Structure 1
Amino acid sequence: MFSFKQLEALYWIATLGGFAPAARKLNTTQSAVSKRIKELEASFDTPLFDREHRQARLTEKGEEMLLIARRLLEQRDIAIEQFSKPEVIERRLRIGVTELTAMTWLPRLVRRIHQHYPRVVIEPDVDLSVHLRDKLQNDEMDAIIVPDAFTDPGLSALPLASVKSVWLARPGLIGERKRPLRMHELASHTILTQGNKSGTGIIYDRWIKSQSIFPGHSLSCSSVVALIGLTVSGMGVSYLPYQPLRPLIESGTLEIIETTPKLPDVPYVALYRSERKSSFISSILMLAQECCAFSDMFQIEELAGQQHARKRNSGPFF
């Protein structure tokens, strides 16, 4: 008789293309995965993998068993989610977020997930949008929260919220202005960008090119925190999220550079693999929709109104 652990080993070896990535996915050792496959093969007295090749390649019988394993595992997951109460569900949740999400509403989301699923182990991964997209495609993530910069037929998107961005610079860097700058005037200054690995960077790079604007000098930085630091130090003009940086604007540390046209908002979405969606993932995405707010840095759910006021006045960083 075979076990679900053996079927999982077969499924993930075939899906990820090898014993080593399957072991990482299952949070076990490569030898343990190999043992499960040998036990599964012994149960049917037939080889499931062609061992004459370096890569894990299924035999004809292995392909047949893979179809069976996929159906059985899907039915098992459906049964567990339908008949288990949220407080008793035990599993890992691998969720990828951008730096901006991590600095704003990720703490609220983690708290809400813990409240609904106390036995779920949450594994947040903070990375650039392109890297998160790649991890999701490789089934290293269950869901990611990124700017809506990607189109992939295998991924589904759930809209969350939009981020209002403005051009910011150190006061005095641009000089006196009696009207909003045209984009070609702004482009005469050093433009600080988020680069082509950032979802926001991709969206704004497309937009700037659509305006037929080609900055004479630009500096790309993948970190939002570092980009804020470069902008504060007067290294150039950058597009940055307005709401979280209001304290720096109101204190005079940064000033808004009005332009025509204005920057478009950046829509954020939750991406997940279409064939991997479940009622659990649907519930997590609903919580993300409820929590998503790019308003303040390091958001937590306050117990009293005065605590909230104190937090709002404390500035964007500790």
Structure 2
Amino acid sequence: MPKFNLKHIEAFVHVADLGSFRRAAARLNTTQPNISNRISQLEHHLRLTLMERDAGSVRLTREGRQLIGPARRILAAVDGFLEATGDGTVFDGLLRLGVTELVAQTWLRPFLIQMKDRFPSVDVELTIDLSENLSNLLFAREIDLAFQNGPFDQRTPNTEPLGQSPYIWVAAPALGFPTGPVAADQIARHRILTHARGSYPYTQLDAHFRQIEQPVRLVPSSNIAACLQMANDGLGVACVPALMAAETLAAGRLQVLDYDWHPEDLHFAARWLVDPAPTFLVAAVEIAAGLYPPEDHD
């Protein structure tokens, strides 16, 4: 029987958090039989049953619930020990990060560069998706950290506001919009390119034009970059987060329309469930907060 070691504690905490030997194995980059063996060895060493194993589920026993807190504190102490060195190169591991398209198209690249510089042995596994889908992945424990926009249906114990981005209306100069105020019927002459159907901004757009009884053609897309390209080609008017359009506007390929209504600003936050959160996850949140464009902070 192998001697009791830190890998047994890691397996115990991850199986408890993820509710699955398979998921714990994937998280710790090993096999399911290895995780099962580590739990069995830990239980043998302690002479206790820590988990009840049913088909498709794992539940902590009373003894397991008593020991999960001390187990978490052991992992936190090890992380604190490494952090005390002041050297990010001593950390290794995997950060499963989920981001929205806006993050991916704006400040994701400098974020990844800073993470690599600070923690060269920590790999970032990236998922880019709609905010609603990222929330589902977060609560399914399939990602560790999400940089996403609200509103949020489910609260997380750890949330750090990052900033916000207002919406703007943009169109190609070739469409001939005036530089002054624009009326709803002028916009309605063109397709309105915007977020995916069912998303919060799409719902607000639809409700706005219904309220003012202005028929419009909403063209939804899960890819805002594609909407901007279509707008650039004169295929419609786009209602998009200002951050996404900054580069195109600076190049003069699009103009901002002075329409007096916009969807609510996008409020972005970092959200995570991991407990204890490793130093490199906490640092990732700090890096993201520092990168979010200052002009768009609350």
* 1:236 match: 236
Contact 2:195/2:201, CA 8 A, preserved across alignment:
no
* 1:152 match: 154
Deviation per CA, 1:253-311: give whole Å up to 9, x if none.
Answer: 4333220135554332222338544554333222222222399xxxxxxxxxxxxxxxx
Contact 2:164/2:266, CA 8 A, preserved across alignment:
yes
* 2:8 match: 6
Contact 1:171/1:254, CA 8 A, preserved across alignment:
yes
* 1:191 match: 192
* 1:270 match: 270
SS of 1:56's partner is strand
In the superposition, relative to structure 1, how do residues 284 and 266 fare at CA in structure 2: closer, same or farther (>3 Å)? same
Structure 1: state its 5+ residue gaps. 296-318
In the superposition, relative to structure 1, how do residues 203 and 19 fare at CA in structure 2: closer, same or farther (>3 Å)? same
Distance in 2, matches of 1:161 and 1:44, equals: 47
In the superposition, relative to structure 1, how do residues 243 and 48 fare at CA in structure 2: closer, same or farther (>3 Å)? closer
Contact 1:104/1:293, CA 8 A, preserved across alignment:
no
Contact 1:147/1:269, CA 8 A, preserved across alignment:
yes
TM-score (norm 1): 0.76
* 1:310 match: none
* 2:290 match: 290
In the superposition, relative to structure 1, how do residues 208 and 278 fare at CA in structure 2: closer, same or farther (>3 Å)? farther
Q: CA deviation at 1:219?
A: 1.9
Paired residue type of 1:181: V
Q: CA deviation at 1:218?
A: 1.6
Paired residue type of 2:57: Q
- Structural mapping, 1:239-254, within 5 Å: 239-242=239-242, 245-246=245-246, 248-249=248-249, 253-254=253-254
* 1:97 match: 99
Deviation per CA, 1:73-117: give whole Å up to 9, x if none.
Answer: 333333333345323222322322222222222221122222222
Deviates more, 1:162-171 or 1:108-117: 162-171
Contact 1:81/1:280, CA 8 A, preserved across alignment:
no
Over aligned residue pairs, what C-alpha RMSD do you find? 3.3
In the superposition, relative to structure 1, how do residues 44 and 25 fare at CA in structure 2: closer, same or farther (>3 Å)? same
Matched, 1:205 2:193: no
SS of 2:22's partner is helix
* 1:138 match: 140
Matched, 1:261 2:244: no
* 1:75 match: 77
SS of 1:181's partner is coil
In the superposition, relative to structure 1, how do residues 29 and 178 fare at CA in structure 2: closer, same or farther (>3 Å)? closer
In the superposition, relative to structure 1, how do residues 265 and 45 fare at CA in structure 2: closer, same or farther (>3 Å)? closer
SS of 2:64's partner is helix
Distance in 2, matches of 1:51 and 1:151, equals: 31
Distance in 2, matches of 1:196 and 1:24, equals: 33
Structure 2: state its 5+ residue gaps. none
Distance in 2, matches of 1:203 and 1:216, equals: 15
Paired residue type of 2:121: R
In the superposition, relative to structure 1, how do residues 111 and 36 fare at CA in structure 2: closer, same or farther (>3 Å)? same
What is the aligned residue count? 291
Distance in 2, matches of 1:66 and 1:287, equals: 30
In the superposition, relative to structure 1, how do residues 16 and 52 fare at CA in structure 2: closer, same or farther (>3 Å)? closer
Deviation per CA, 1:42-72: give whole Å up to 9, x if none.
Answer: 2234443334644223333333343442333
Contact 1:105/1:294, CA 8 A, preserved across alignment:
no
Contact 2:202/2:220, CA 8 A, preserved across alignment:
no
Q: CA deviation at 1:28?
A: 1.3
Which aligned segments of 4 or more residues in structure 1 are displaced greater than 6 angstroms? none
Distance in 1, matches of 2:157 and 2:189, equals: 39
Q: State percent identity of aligned pairs.
A: 29
Q: CA deviation at 1:239?
A: 1.2
In the superposition, relative to structure 1, how do residues 105 and 191 fare at CA in structure 2: closer, same or farther (>3 Å)? same
Distance in 1, matches of 2:180 and 2:44, equals: 78
Paired residue type of 1:225: A
- Structural mapping, 1:10-159, within 5 Å: 10-51=12-53, 53-83=55-85, 85-150=87-152, 152-159=154-161
In the superposition, relative to structure 1, how do residues 209 and 278 fare at CA in structure 2: closer, same or farther (>3 Å)? farther
Q: 2:165 aligns with which of 147, 163, 171?
A: 163
